[in-house]
Structure 1
Amino acid sequence: MHRYRSHTCGELRASDVGTDVRLSGWLHNRRDLGGILFIDLRDHYGITQLVARPGTAAYEALDKMSKESTVRVDGKVVSRGAENVNADLPTGEVEVEVGEVELLGAAAPLPFTINAEDGVNEERRLEYRFLDLRRERMHRNIMLRTAVISAIRHKMTALGFNEMATPILTATSPEGARDFVVPSRLNPGRFYALPQAPQQFKQLLMISGFDRYFQIAPCFRDEDARADRSPGEFYQLDVEMSFVEQEDVFQPIEKLMTELFTEFGGGREVTSPFPRIPFRESMLKYGSDKPDLRAKLELVDITDVFEGSDFKAFAGKHVRALPVPDVAAQPRKFFDQLGQFAVDLGAQGLAWVRVAEDGSLTGPIAKFLTEENVAELTKRLGLAAGHAVFFGAGEFDEVSKIMGAVRVEAAKRAGHFEEGVFRFCWIVDFPMYEKDEETGRIDFSHNPFSMPQGGMDALENQDPLDILAWQYDIVCNGVELSSGAIRNHEPEIMLKAFEIAGYDAETVEREFAGMLRALRFGAPPHGGIAPGVDRIVMLLADEPNIRETIAFPLNGNAQDLMMGAPTELDEARLRELHISVRKPQPK
């Protein structure tokens, strides 16, 4: 018999009754019922119940062991009997009568409970992550991640893509986020950067003639944590294709996402096909460029209705309305709570009206609306008895942010929100440029290496703020999974695009010398995308925080509490790396 096990803890069935077995695992739980000791033994594969009788050496040994100790047991498989079957366990029809026990590793007192979710704080869980990962939910999440990545590799290969690796030590790049830098011992005063993404390398692979590339790529960005973003390190499915237009990129990625979310989504419905929503339309209808389409409500721009109005709350401002069916009969508390939700987001309040049976409007602001206002709102918003309308007014971006969140919250509270589905969409036609409101400067709004729609002609003859780019995002349930673009593969168009954003040719040639040099040697039209693996798994696992799907994440302050990183270096090591440290002065 094998030194540690003849079977796993998830393997035994009724057909094994009478078999002598050897199991190894963790002491998950222990119960003493009428003098008989029942032990749940857990390993990677599942749980098997052990039984130890009083007066036996096995009973004495198991009774003294602490939970989460690792043990080896020998025993005989017996039937539990119909009245004692545990239908929640695959091994629930049997148990093992223990004859011999060997303690393999004793467990110290536990900092928190392993066999139950007891509300321990995240900092403690990350400090003892190796224990946290023993919990059923966390173990399931990590194995889901493993299965998803394996499926991605298989499906991408089947779609004709080739997996390739790109460098981890590279040059710093002005891609938007801060780089993590690595000092060079052999080149004093110089630094490598960890890649924020393999962007330039995957484009260089296209220029090198490899046509279809993918990689499960680690990316490193020195940025703050969010619920859907892990600080420091994250993984993405990096993809690039040659001789393609936008729809050519959409087709394999849409097929991949549909299959992944169908296979691992637990029966939840998946959007098919994915709608294409222009950026400006998304901002107007949903208040966001990552709309949650599970909310079956839409915003309506009614700014023109109040142009020249005497109603000061709306006059001269951008005004957005949210019509909500079947809520006019709700008590005042419903409206007050939604108003408080808006205030918590930064609004000064949330105006609203109800639609009465006769079509008239009632509510706090109804007296400020003229007959013409009411008629136009009724027509524009398709109002009927039972509707309520919520209004937001102010600057465009501020109103979009607040009313976009109100849209989703109102849908949830009013029963206009789909549960148990994955609602995907493509956001397309992003503006190439935007204006900095403080400086008035024209700058790139998204990705500076994207091809402008209309090419050189658009750059030379259109208002920069009207130029659209071949850029796109894929969004699911209000979570941006990825950005992508058709790349600007023509050096002269790239130089002109940067010129509009205030970069002279010398600066561009210096900052992107390697890329520009490659583009001048016959670059194919190419494009790509990079869906976030962590976010995909977060959605599939139905977890609100991305750290719940990563085995060893950093905390919100970009610290590894388990390993103690980041650490200080001693003087000898600093001298070897030609570095002196200048710490911030205390305030």
Structure 2
Amino acid sequence: MLRTHTCGELRSAHVGQEVTLTGWVHKTRDKGGMMWVDIRDRYGLTQLKLEEGVTAPEVMASARELGREFVIKASGTVIERISKNDKLATGDVEIQVTVIEVLNPAKLPPFLIEDETDGGDDLRMKYRYLDLRRNAVRKNLELRHQMMKQSRAYLDTLNFIEVETPVLIKSTPEGARDFVVPSRMNPGEFYALPQSPQTFKQLLMVSGFDKYFQIVKCFRDEDLRADRQPEFTQIDCELSFVTQEDILNTFEGLVKHLFREVKGIEIEKLPRMTYADAMKYYGNDKPDTRFEMKFVELNDQVKGKGFKVFDEAGLVIGINANNCASYTRKQIDELTEYVKRPQLGATGLIYARVEADGTVKSSVDKFFSQDDLQQWAQAFAANPGDLLLILAGAEDKTRKALSELRLEMGERLGLRDKNTFSPLWVVDFPLLEWNDDAQRFFAMHHPFTSPKPEDIELIATNPGAVRANAYDMVINGVEVGGGSIRIYERPIQERMFKLLGFTEEEAQAQFGFLLNAFEYGAPPHGGIAFGFDRLCSLFGGADSIRDFIAFPKNNSGRDVMIDAPSPIAQEQLNELQIQLGTK
């Protein structure tokens, strides 16, 4: 090694030792007769000291030529600092330099390599290799490393075996769009990049590998958001001879292990909530349970009073914002505009204040008596000082809008603390969801999800009422993992494909390999996949998964650093027998 120590390693115990450090020039301070250089690597930062009359003149001269981000090698003696820096791990010592060697000069970076940088997102993504030098970004990747290490350690203790599955697979019509890869040796035919290793891990169960896992790259060609990337990482797992209860206990254990080993937090047993209750009380299937503010339905209390908005609504529903009766008209108007945004589409917001004396005053007082309003307060279990926020309209749309309003109020009231974690299981999802445009059912999770045994007979008479043997893990309103008990018998899988609109020929062409495998002794099995990037961002207290991926894409799915995707040469297109259309 060119160095004897890292830049984050030296302490008072090293005083008097001759050392050599290598790294990047973080900052220089020249006071004439005295000069300091901060040298940085991924382990930390150490101060170098140069002093006229002590340091050789040629070394002083070399040091004065240093610029930010120069790569240097410095040798000298560890001495105690006169002015100690308690904010720095190495702040008790510095190096009295005897030799400085420039290993590579550097251009002035386009932004400051500091925790609080002056570089915007686009600029930092273009120069991501520089952005990765910043402490904040480096710590994110160190956390990711620990999450990966601890996941493997936990699963290894339970006899899981890590198996790599293919990256070039077959395109399937269900789910999100595939990324496709042309095959030169099979002109006109294409591979797809896997959206998940789903069928392969099921085949591994048929093969007798009863506990499989893989920390695996997956790909989906879909519109991007803060928590989505075209390529992402999953902790993918499958087990044989298990029930849903076995899987919930096993992977509840994984998440508890990660919180304990990575965050130093002990998590109690995860509560469970049915999909029906999640939708009823929170308006979505990934509820943020760090705070209450559950939905209260008011149809029985408000219908038939002459207020047209309520009388004609499919659903009247609201939340109780505790201690918010003092909200000003301006604040109420802001909330009204929030729910009227096109993304939510509410027509307005009704509110009612519970005054200090217990009386209730609402924005629709002329339609409702004080006795009526007291029934509202009773339904909400409201106390003096509370503010009731009410929406009305079509059921699904209104629940969605109120769900967003609840989260907004949680944010405004400081109830969504990133250092508080509230994980839970959501269970008993519908097996199918109806698509009006296609006029057919789609699998809510995927076509291999098993129905609840007690609901199988409903497939013929009421498919929409069939519950899935499926489960999601939700933390702080984010779905971090999901899975199901799988279908493992060919007749039931064929029945499922038929329900989803596949002909026998289509099912055989797309999934014949899996159906055939089921005839050779497939065990009962089930599994789960965790969104590893999402888990990392939650543990790191960030909103975007991009901060925890070394080289992420932007919101247009582009890598602006290497400028990809990009056109390819006509010779390559010819070789692949691909002809591009004209715009």
Q: Quote the residue 2:181 is aligned against.
A: 182
Aligned AA for 1:43?
D
Q: Quote the residue 2:250 is aligned against.
A: 252
Q: Quote the residue 2:275 is aligned against.
A: 279
Question: Are residues 307 and 449 of structure 1, via their aligned partners in 2, closer, same or farther at CA, if it must alter by over 3 Å?
Answer: farther
Q: Using the TM superposition, name which of 416-425 and 477-486 deviates more.
A: 416-425
Report the 3-state secondary structure (helix = DSSP H, G, I; strand = E; otherwise coil) of the residue aligned with 1:90: coil
* Distance in 2 (alpha carbons) for counterparts of 1:491 and 1:73: 69
Aligned with 1:330 (options 317, 324, 327): 327
Given that residues 456 and 493 in structure 1 are in contact (C-alpha distance below 8 angstroms), is that contact kept between their aligned partners in structure 2?
no
Q: Does 1:581 align with 2:568?
A: no
Following superposition, the deviation at residue 398 of structure 1 comes to 1.6
Given that residues 305 and 367 in structure 2 are in contact (C-alpha distance below 8 angstroms), is that contact kept between their aligned partners in structure 1?
no
Aligned AA for 2:331?
F
TM value normalised by structure 1: 0.94
Note the alpha carbon deviations across 1:276-296, whole angstroms, 9 max, x for none.
111121111111111111122
Q: Quote the residue 2:15 is aligned against.
A: 17
Q: Does 1:68 align with 2:83?
A: no
Q: Quote the residue 1:288 is aligned against.
A: 284
Aligned AA for 1:66?
G
Note the alpha carbon deviations across 1:3-58, whole angstroms, 9 max, x for none.
x1111111111121111111110001111235411111011211110011237222
Matches within 5 A, 1:29-428: 29-33=27-31, 35-54=33-52, 56-81=57-82, 84-230=83-229, 232-265=230-263, 267=264, 271-317=267-313, 318-344=315-341, 345-370=344-369, 373-414=372-413, 416-417=415-416, 420-428=419-427
Given that residues 346 and 393 in structure 2 are in contact (C-alpha distance below 8 angstroms), is that contact kept between their aligned partners in structure 1?
no
Task: Let me know the Cα RMSD of the aligned residues.
Answer: 2.0
Q: Does 1:569 align with 2:568?
A: yes
Aligned AA for 2:181?
V
Question: Are residues 524 and 293 of structure 1, via their aligned partners in 2, closer, same or farther at CA, if it must alter by over 3 Å?
Answer: same
Following superposition, the deviation at residue 159 of structure 1 comes to 2.0
Following superposition, the deviation at residue 252 of structure 1 comes to 1.4
Question: Are residues 384 and 553 of structure 1, via their aligned partners in 2, closer, same or farther at CA, if it must alter by over 3 Å?
Answer: same
Note the alpha carbon deviations across 1:246-297, whole angstroms, 9 max, x for none.
11111111111112123223x5x56421111111211111111111111221
Following superposition, the deviation at residue 375 of structure 1 comes to 4.8
Aligned AA for 2:47?
Q
Q: Which segments of 5 or more consecutive residues in structure 1 lack a partner in the other structure?
A: none
Q: Report sequence identity in percent.
A: 40
Matches within 5 A, 1:513-524: 513-524=512-523
Report the 3-state secondary structure (helix = DSSP H, G, I; strand = E; otherwise coil) of the residue aligned with 2:563: coil
Report the 3-state secondary structure (helix = DSSP H, G, I; strand = E; otherwise coil) of the residue aligned with 1:330: coil
Q: Which segments of 5 or more consecutive residues in structure 2 lack a partner in the other structure?
A: none
Matches within 5 A, 1:487-506: 487-506=486-505
Report the 3-state secondary structure (helix = DSSP H, G, I; strand = E; otherwise coil) of the residue aligned with 1:530: strand
* Distance in 2 (alpha carbons) for counterparts of 1:256 and 1:119: 39
Question: Are residues 185 and 502 of structure 1, via their aligned partners in 2, closer, same or farther at CA, if it must alter by over 3 Å?
Answer: closer
* Distance in 2 (alpha carbons) for counterparts of 1:515 and 1:247: 25
Report the 3-state secondary structure (helix = DSSP H, G, I; strand = E; otherwise coil) of the residue aligned with 1:314: helix
TM value normalised by structure 2: 0.94
Given that residues 142 and 551 in structure 1 are in contact (C-alpha distance below 8 angstroms), is that contact kept between their aligned partners in structure 2?
yes
Note the alpha carbon deviations across 1:481-538, whole angstroms, 9 max, x for none.
1221111112211222232333333322222111111112221111111101111110
Given that residues 305 and 368 in structure 2 are in contact (C-alpha distance below 8 angstroms), is that contact kept between their aligned partners in structure 1?
no
Given that residues 270 and 422 in structure 1 are in contact (C-alpha distance below 8 angstroms), is that contact kept between their aligned partners in structure 2?
no
* Distance in 2 (alpha carbons) for counterparts of 1:353 and 1:62: 69
Q: Quote the residue 1:537 is aligned against.
A: 536
Report the 3-state secondary structure (helix = DSSP H, G, I; strand = E; otherwise coil) of the residue aligned with 1:483: strand
Note the alpha carbon deviations across 1:191-246, whole angstroms, 9 max, x for none.
1111111000000000111100000011011112111111x211000000111111
* Distance in 1 (alpha carbons) for counterparts of 2:71 and 2:418: 41
Question: Are residues 493 and 310 of structure 1, via their aligned partners in 2, closer, same or farther at CA, if it must alter by over 3 Å?
Answer: farther
Note the alpha carbon deviations across 1:437-494, whole angstroms, 9 max, x for none.
4565333333221111136742445411211111111111111112211111122112
Aligned AA for 1:342?
V
* Distance in 2 (alpha carbons) for counterparts of 1:580 and 1:539: 44
Note the alpha carbon deviations across 1:311-338, whole angstroms, 9 max, x for none.
1112232121102222223333332332
Aligned AA for 1:65?
L
Q: Quote the residue 1:6 is aligned against.
A: 4
Note the alpha carbon deviations across 1:79-106, whole angstroms, 9 max, x for none.
113xx11111221111001111111111
* Distance in 1 (alpha carbons) for counterparts of 2:356 and 2:557: 56
Report the 3-state secondary structure (helix = DSSP H, G, I; strand = E; otherwise coil) of the residue aligned with 2:308: coil
Given that residues 299 and 321 in structure 1 are in contact (C-alpha distance below 8 angstroms), is that contact kept between their aligned partners in structure 2?
yes
* Distance in 2 (alpha carbons) for counterparts of 1:498 and 1:303: 40
* Distance in 2 (alpha carbons) for counterparts of 1:575 and 1:439: 37
Q: Using the TM superposition, name which of 19-28 and 457-466 deviates more.
A: 457-466
Aligned AA for 2:19?
V
Question: Are residues 445 and 316 of structure 1, via their aligned partners in 2, closer, same or farther at CA, if it must alter by over 3 Å?
Answer: farther
Following superposition, the deviation at residue 410 of structure 1 comes to 1.7
Following superposition, the deviation at residue 420 of structure 1 comes to 2.1
* Distance in 1 (alpha carbons) for counterparts of 2:143 and 2:289: 25
Report the 3-state secondary structure (helix = DSSP H, G, I; strand = E; otherwise coil) of the residue aligned with 2:73: strand
Question: Are residues 460 and 118 of structure 1, via their aligned partners in 2, closer, same or farther at CA, if it must alter by over 3 Å?
Answer: closer
Q: Using the TM superposition, name which of 441-450 and 133-142 deviates more.
A: 441-450
Question: Are residues 22 and 457 of structure 1, via their aligned partners in 2, closer, same or farther at CA, if it must alter by over 3 Å?
Answer: closer
* Distance in 1 (alpha carbons) for counterparts of 2:17 and 2:374: 81
Given that residues 481 and 529 in structure 2 are in contact (C-alpha distance below 8 angstroms), is that contact kept between their aligned partners in structure 1?
yes
* Distance in 2 (alpha carbons) for counterparts of 1:376 and 1:504: 55
Note the alpha carbon deviations across 1:385-409, whole angstroms, 9 max, x for none.
2222111112222212211121122
Given that residues 295 and 418 in structure 1 are in contact (C-alpha distance below 8 angstroms), is that contact kept between their aligned partners in structure 2?
no
Aligned AA for 2:296?
V
